[in-house]
């Protein structure tokens, strides 16, 4: 290759967003964070929303920064979290601020949906796991309240699709994010008319579904005029952040699983067809879209949200600690003093997480974690044990052993959790890349533009050029001893 090519990835997470410049010289991808900005829910009266206008302002600020740097950008790609959405009126204007998936409006809605259509039928039509945060329950909560937002809606767009619309003027829905809604039928490769009809959700609001790598269109002239950013095309990566992260797994053998580790832990395998079986339903696993016509068969696990909320609680009381300091006190704490079910409903909403962890241990008649280190260690050990359970189920479905677990994303920096995972699962753990989501976003753009031949080639590049850390399981019989206790506490089969 004669010269390097630059690509721009926007990666918006639940806590923060960033614009990352990816420079590809034909052998390596070098990343440069152009702009990082906070994100999070904002409470307005009794509801929790996303400040999408602030996010949009920061996206345009990033474009201005990029223009000042003089970079010649080949394309732009946007990825975000799943399930949340904006509604547009017939003129294309946003109707209200998008709701946050942790808003309380979906409490109890699953049971109301099951009164109309049984759980197995929903899974048969969507292949998607059951979580009260899913789009289907958010929309049905609006049906139940006869929300004027839904009555005036002309178009439904998930968060990355909304940003792509503001960038290009094109209303489309990207495949990987559409599959998180529990309203997409992977067998029919389209929105589920059956589910919409039963739940009285207007089918006509859902736009055309496009695949990762699709050229959506050129950035609008109004944006180039405002930011001085050059006319550039917008490519849909895997717009769901986990879809992008999995695209960057530095695969080194054929027997692997991944954990996309951050606020959530998403643990699974890559498959060519969705696995929609009674066993998958009973285990509440999900089938989400991937790149190159694949699906991600996975389990959502609460993740480092548990630690993040502990840190926020302690910070509000004036005790400021870095994540490294928190990991250090956890490493020094007594092992296996208490265990929790990471996915218990007590831990879903924001709030006093340390108290909730202690309360859970009281309810389950355990020794109470009394120090900050013990509280965090109980959360991390429990996460590792939950990974072990998910791994066993993935191996059963796959019909063969899984040799390696790739931990990608921000959680790959938590060395204590990585080692706990290796010990609990008795598998080699490969941690990295940390910026997997942005890299996967960039890889899809690069493949679409012809800078690389395929995602497989891109993964090989990542494996050769990334700083990966290897964790080998230690001979620690304690993990086996506490595993049965964990299964009982978490009520797992």
DSSP track, 2-40: -S-EEEEEEEE-SSEEEEEEEEE-SS-EEEEEEEEEE--
- On whether the CB atoms of residues 214 and 236 are closer than 8 A, the answer is yes
Question: Look-up: residue for tokens 């979290």?
Answer: 81
CATH number of the domain that residue 488 is part of = 3.30.420.40
Give the pLDDT of residue 258.
Answer: 98
pLDDT confidence of residue 70: 85
What 8-state DSSP symbol labels residue 240?
B
Question: 478 in a domain, yes or no?
Answer: yes
Listed in sequence order, the residues at least 6 apart from 291 whose beta carbon sits closer than 8 Å to its beta carbon are 176, 212, 213, 238, 243, 246, 247, 440, 444, 455
Helix axes 372-398, 478-490, angle to 10 degrees: 90
The reply to whether 205 and 254 lie within a common domain is: no
Provide the 8-state DSSP code for 245: H
SS3 186: coil
Within-domain flag for 439: no
Beta strands in 278-322 (DSSP E): 286-289, 295-301
Q: Is residue 74 part of a domain?
A: yes
Asked which of 207, 235, 263 is the last residue of a domain, the reply is 235
Domain boundary among 213, 235, 257: 235
- Give the whole-angstrom CA distance, residue 435 versus residue 105: 33
> How high is the pLDDT of residue 253?
80
∠ CA 145-149-154, rounded to 5°: 130
Residue 212: its pLDDT value, please?
98
CA distances to 31, 42, 351, 381 from 103, rounded to whole Å, are 34, 10, 13, 28
pLDDT 10s digits, 178-237: 999 999 999 999 999 999 999 999 999 999 999 999 999 999 999 999 999 999 999 999
Q: What are phi and psi of 38, to 5 degrees?
A: -75, 160
Residues 173, 69 share a domain: yes
Q: Cβ atoms within 10 A of the Cβ of 390, count?
A: 24
If asked whether residues 285 and 214 sit together in one domain, one would say no
Count how many Cα atoms sit within 13 Å of the Cα of residue 102 in the half-sphere of its side chain.
19
**Quick one: 186 and 272 in the same domain?**
no
pLDDT for 1 equals 41
Q: Would you state the structure tokens that stand for residue 331, as one six-digit string?
A: 């490493």
Whether residue 174 sits in one domain with residue 26:
yes
Q: Looking at the structure, tell me whether residues 258 and 153 fall in a common domain.
A: no
Q: Confirm whether 290 is domain-assigned.
A: yes
Burial class of residue 137, CB neighbours in 10 A (0-12, 13-18, 19+): buried
Gap between the Cα atoms of 158 and 180, Å rounded: 10
User: Do 294 and 214 belong together in one domain?
Assistant: no
Do residue 229 and residue 262 come from a single domain?
Answer: no
- Indicate if 80 and 211 belong to the same structural domain: yes
Closest CA to 18 of 74, 67, 80: 80
Bridge partners (DSSP) listed for residue 399: none
Please name which of 145, 361, 404 lies closest in space to residue 269, comparing C-alpha atoms. Answer: 404
- The number of folded domains in the chain is 2
Whether 173 is in a domain gets the answer yes
Q: Do 355 and 225 sit in the same domain of this protein?
A: no
Domain-embedded: residue 437: no
pLDDT at site 252:
79
Say how far apart CA 328 and CA 313 lie, in whole Å.
Answer: 18
**Given this model, what pLDDT does residue 254 score?**
82
The residues annotated with a catalytic role in the active site are 241
Classify residue 447: in a domain, yes or no. Answer: no
- Whether 348 is covered by a domain: the verdict is yes
Q: Where are the beta strands (DSSP E) in 319-477?
A: 404-408, 428-431, 469-471
Please indicate, yes or no, whether residues 38 and 173 belong to a single structural domain of this protein: yes
- 428-431 and 404-408 beta bridge pairing: parallel
Tens of pLDDT, residues 73-96:
999 999 999 999 999 999 999 999
Residues 290 and 320 in one domain: yes
First to last CA, the chain: 53
The vertex-199 CA angle with 193 and 200, nearest 5°, equals 80
Residue-range definition of the domain harbouring residue 127: 5-235
Low-confidence residues in the chain, pLDDT < 50: 1
């Amino acid at each position: 290759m004669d010269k390097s090519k630059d690509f721009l990835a926007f990666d918006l997470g639940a806590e923060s967003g960033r614009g990352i410049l990816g420079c590809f010289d034909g052998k390596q991808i070098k990343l440069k964070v152009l702009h990082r900005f906070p994100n999070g829910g904002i409470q307005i009266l009794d509801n929790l929303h996303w400040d999408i206008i602030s996010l949009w302002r920061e996206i345009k600020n990033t474009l201005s920064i990029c223009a000042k740097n003089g970079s010649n950008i080949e394309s732009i790609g946007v990825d975000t979290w799943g399930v949340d959405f904006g509604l547009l009126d017939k003129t294309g204007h946003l109707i209200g601020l998008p709701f946050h998936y942790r808003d309380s409006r979906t409490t109890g809605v699953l049971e109301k949906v099951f009164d109309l259509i049984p759980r197995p039928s929903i899974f048969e039509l969507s292949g998607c796991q059951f979580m009260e945060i899913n789009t289907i329950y958010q929309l049905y909560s609006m049906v139940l309240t006869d929300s004027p937002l839904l009555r005036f809606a002309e178009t439904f767009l998930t968060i990355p699709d909304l940003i792509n619309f503001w960038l290009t003027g094109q209303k489309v829905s990207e495949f990987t994010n559409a599959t998180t809604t529990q309203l997409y039928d992977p067998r029919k490769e389209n929105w589920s008319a059956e589910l919409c009809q039963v739940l009285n959700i207007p089918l006509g609001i859902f736009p055309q579904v496009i695949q990762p790598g699709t050229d959506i269109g050129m950035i609008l002239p109004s944006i180039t005029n405002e930011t001085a950013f050059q006319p550039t095309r917008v490519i849909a990566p895997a717009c769901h952040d986990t879809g992008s992260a999995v695209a960057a797994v530095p695969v080194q053998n054929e027997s692997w699983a991944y954990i996309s580790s951050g606020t959530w832990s998403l643990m699974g395998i890559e498959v060519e067809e969705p696995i929609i079986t009674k066993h998958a339903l009973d285990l509440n696993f999900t089938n989400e879209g991937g790149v190159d016509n694949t699906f991600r068969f996975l389990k959502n696990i609460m993740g480092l949200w548990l630690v993040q909320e502990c840190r926020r609680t302690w910070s509000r009381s004036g005790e400021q600690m870095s994540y490294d300091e928190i990991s250090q006190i956890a490493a020094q704490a007594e092992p296996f003093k208490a265990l929790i079910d990471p996915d218990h409903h007590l831990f879903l909403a924001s709030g006093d997480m340390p108290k909730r962890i202690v309360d859970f241990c009281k309810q389950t008649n355990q020794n109470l974690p009394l120090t900050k280190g013990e509280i965090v260690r109980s959360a991390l050990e429990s996460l590792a044990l939950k990974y072990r359970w998910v791994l066993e189920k993935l191996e059963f479905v796959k019909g063969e052993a899984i040799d390696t677990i790739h931990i990608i994303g921000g959680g790959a920096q938590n060395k204590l959790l990585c080692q706990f995972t290796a010990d609990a699962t008795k598998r080699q753990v490969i941690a990295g890349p940390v910026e997997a989501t942005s890299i996967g976003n960039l890889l899809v753009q690069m493949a679409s533009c012809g800078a690389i031949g395929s995602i497989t080639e891109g993964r090989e590049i990542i494996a050769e050029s990334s700083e990966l850390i290897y964790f080998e399981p230690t001979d620690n019989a304690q993990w086996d001893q506490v595993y049965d206790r964990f299964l009982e506490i978490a009520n797992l089969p």
